[in-house]
């Protein structure tokens, strides 16, 4: 250590360490909420680097130290959040679920929130009026209604004026009736695409001029089903996959304007997206009425009627704690270097990795075991019984 302290490389190590430490402390000061994370992610690698210098010698140790400092800086840039200030954010689908919780969360953090709701006189809108600050504005916003989208743009433009809109969170979405893709009526496919994809595209295109002014953020809430194929989600998954691809393309195209785009793929959360029992009855009736005689015969009445039980049991497998999703959206809105894709919730990232990096037969086998149901179409039950007799 004495030889190191008196050598030019030793003094270089001290100088680099000092500069790195000052940078870390300045970053922590600018982002008090992330101070602990900043110090952990930065000072620990710096100490590790100095230890390497002491153990390996000045030359090799300096190389290791510079490497860990670079890695730390990359990680640090992804964790440092910009100040909230008076940043304005539009959230669609704020009546219930993630959008409703996000409107409250961002309002509590000091954002100027424009909460788009399907029903401005509904219970969700009333709760936002009652519990949120004066900064929050409610907008009547059916994202499939071009007139309402334009009117929302006019109202937001009047309020933000020259500062622009910092963020747009395309959260509004519908699930449809989870059933085998063959059974779903075309109206379900069209409705899912209309809300989950075309509506989000319409909102994005309309509000992009305001995002350009602020060099802000576009955040699209997709789904785990938008990144991996899941049984019974043909319509919903296809519409969310389209939204995810749209996000990826827009991320590339809008970077020249300084706009950052992120897609969020939550796993199962209890949001109420499955709807009410009245809606299920209506969707089930529509599904049954559109089936051909052959299809109805092959699947069997008990299998078809059992589809609703899947909806009834869905909440039991979903987490009621939405904080992972809210944290992901906040990071996408405020991080200096936000991720292009977020996968909050249990299993979301693991399943995506299995789908991307393992053989498809393995993924299909894994999903079939994980989501196995006791219900089997009538014809397959009959065929299996006959095989056993033989």
The two three-digit tokens of residue 211, written as one number: 């995002």
105 catalytic residue (yes or no):
no
3-state DSSP call for residue 107? helix
In a domain? residue 387: no
- Hey, what are 116's tokens? 């788009």
Determine the pLDDT at residue 31. 44
* Separation of alpha carbons 282 and 308, rounded Å: 11
Give the per-residue pLDDT at 369. Answer: 82
Q: How many residues does the chain have?
A: 390
The separation between the first and the last C-alpha atoms of the chain, rounded to the nearest angstrom, is 82
Contact status, residue 135 vs residue 113, Cβ threshold 8 Å: yes
Distance CA 303, CA 292 (A): 15
Residue 231 in any domain: the answer is yes
248 belongs to a structural domain: yes
Which of 47, 79, 111 terminates a domain? The answer is 79
**Nearest-CA neighbor of 42 among 83, 70, 15, 63?**
70
Number of domains in the chain: 2
**Same domain for 237 and 170:** yes
Query: Domain check: are 275 and 178 in the same one?
Result: yes
- Answer for the pair 361, 291: CB distance below 8 angstroms, yes or no: no
pLDDT at site 282: 77
DSSP for 312-374 reads HHGGGGSBS--HHHHHHHHHHHHBSS--SEE--STTHHHHHHHHHHS-HHHHHHHHHHHT--S
Whole-number pLDDT of residue 32: 42
8-state DSSP, 122 = S
Q: b/e map of 135-169 (b: 16 or more CB within 10 Å)? A: ebbbbbbbbeeeebbeebbeebeeebeeebbbbbb
Instruction: Say which residue the tokens 């699930």 belong to.
Output: 175
Which of 79, 110, 126 marks a domain boundary? 79
Same-domain status, 111 and 240: yes
**Residues 115, 105 contacting (CB under 8 angstroms):** no
- Tell whether 74 and 95 lie within a shared domain: no
Q: Which of 105, 153, 233, 236 is catalytic?
A: 236
pLDDT for 389: 53
Is residue 210 domain-shared with residue 74, that is, in the same domain?
A: no
Select from 334, 349, 258, 342 the least CA-distant residue to 77.
Answer: 334
CATH number at residue 230: 3.40.50.720
Partners of 140 in the β-ladder:
117
Quote the pLDDT of residue 33. 43
Pair (20, 104) in one structural domain: no
| 65: its two tokens | 């130290």
The helix/strand/coil state of 172 is coil
Q: Which residues of 352-379 are buried (b: 16+ CB within 10 A; e: fewer)?
A: bebbeeeeeeebeeebeeeeeeebbbbe
- Residue 253 CA to residue 275 CA, distance in Å, equals 35
Examine the domain organization and report whether 97 and 58 are in the same domain: no
Distance from C-alpha of 154 to C-alpha of 172, rounded to nearest angstrom: 20
Phi, psi of 49 (to 5 degrees): -65, -45
With respect to residue 175, please indicate whether it lies within any of the assigned structural domains: yes
Does any domain span residue 244? yes
Task: Kindly state whether residue 390 falls inside one of the protein's structural domains.
Answer: no
Measured between alpha carbons, how far is 230 from 383 in angstroms, rounded to an integer?
25
Could you tell me if 70 and 101 lie in one domain?
no
Please indicate, yes or no, whether residues 73 and 188 belong to a single structural domain of this protein. no
Do 162 and 233 belong together in one domain? Answer: yes
Can you give the pLDDT of all 390 residues of the chain as single tens digits?
555 445 565 556 556 556 655 555 554 444 444 444 555 555 566 666 666 666 656 565 556 556 555 555 555 555 688 999 889 999 999 999 999 999 999 999 999 999 999 999 999 999 999 999 999 999 999 999 999 999 999 999 999 987 889 999 999 999 888 888 898 999 999 999 999 999 999 999 999 999 999 999 999 999 998 999 998 899 999 999 999 999 999 999 999 999 999 999 998 776 666 566 666 677 777 777 788 888 888 888 777 777 766 666 666 666 778 899 999 999 999 999 999 999 998 888 888 899 999 999 999 998 888 776 657 776 776 655 555 555
Note the maximum CA span of the chain.
90
Domain that holds residue 51: 2-79
Helix (H, G, I), strand (E, B) or coil at 221: strand
Last residue of a domain, one of 54, 79, 104: 79
CB neighbour burial string for 196-211, b if at least 16 within 10 angstroms, e if fewer: bbbbbbbbbebbbebb
List C-alpha distances in Å: 233 to 93, 140, 174, 180, 388: 20, 29, 12, 8, 32
| Same domain (yes/no): 17, 70 | yes
CA distance 238 to 225: 8
Co-location of 271 and 289 in the same domain: yes
């Amino acid at each position: 250590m004495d030889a190191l302290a008196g050598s030019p490389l030793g003094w270089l190590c001290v100088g680099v360490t000092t500069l790195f430490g000052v940078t870390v402390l300045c970053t922590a000061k600018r982002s008090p909420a992330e101070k602990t994370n900043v110090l952990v992610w930065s000072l620990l690698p710096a100490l590790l680097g100095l230890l390497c210098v002491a153990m390996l010698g000045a030359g090799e140790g300096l190389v290791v130290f510079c490497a860990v400092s670079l890695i730390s800086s990359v990680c640090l840039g992804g964790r440092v959040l910009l100040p909230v200030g008076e940043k304005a954010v539009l959230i669609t689908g704020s009546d219930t679920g993630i959008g409703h919780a996000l409107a409250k969360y961002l309002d509590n953090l000091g954002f100027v929130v424009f909460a788009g709701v399907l029903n401005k006189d509904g219970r969700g809108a009333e709760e936002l009026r009652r519990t949120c600050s004066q900064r929050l504005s409610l907008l009547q916003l059916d994202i499939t209604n071009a007139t309402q989208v334009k009117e929302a743009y006019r109202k937001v433009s009047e309020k933000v004026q020259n500062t622009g809109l910092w963020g747009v969170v395309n959260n509004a979405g519908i699930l449809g009736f989870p059933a085998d893709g063959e059974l779903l009526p075309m109206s379900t496919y069209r409705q899912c695409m209309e809300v989950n994809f075309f509506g989000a595209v319409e909102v994005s295109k309309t509000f992009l001029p305001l995002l350009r002014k602020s060099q802000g953020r576009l955040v699209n809430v997709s789904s785990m089903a938008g990144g991996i194929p899941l049984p019974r989600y043909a319509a919903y998954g296809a519409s969310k996959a389209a939204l995810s691809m749209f996000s990826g393309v827009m991320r590339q195209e809008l970077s020249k304007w300084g706009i950052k785009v992120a897609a969020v793929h939550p796993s199962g959360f209890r949001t109420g997206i499955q709807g009410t029992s009245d809606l299920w009855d209506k969707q089930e009736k529509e599904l049954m009425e559109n089936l051909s005689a052959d299809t109805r015969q092959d699947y069997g009445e008990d299998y078809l009627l059992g589809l609703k039980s899947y909806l009834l049991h869905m909440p039991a497998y979903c987490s009621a704690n939405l904080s992972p999703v809210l944290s992901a959206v906040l990071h996408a809105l405020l991080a200096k270097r936000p991720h292009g894709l977020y996968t909050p919730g249990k299993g979301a990232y693991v399943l995506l990795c299995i789908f991307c990096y393992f053989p498809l037969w393995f993924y299909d086998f894994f999903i079939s075991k994980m989501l196995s149901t006791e219900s089997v179409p009538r014809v397959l039950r009959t065929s299996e019984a006959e095989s056993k007799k033989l």
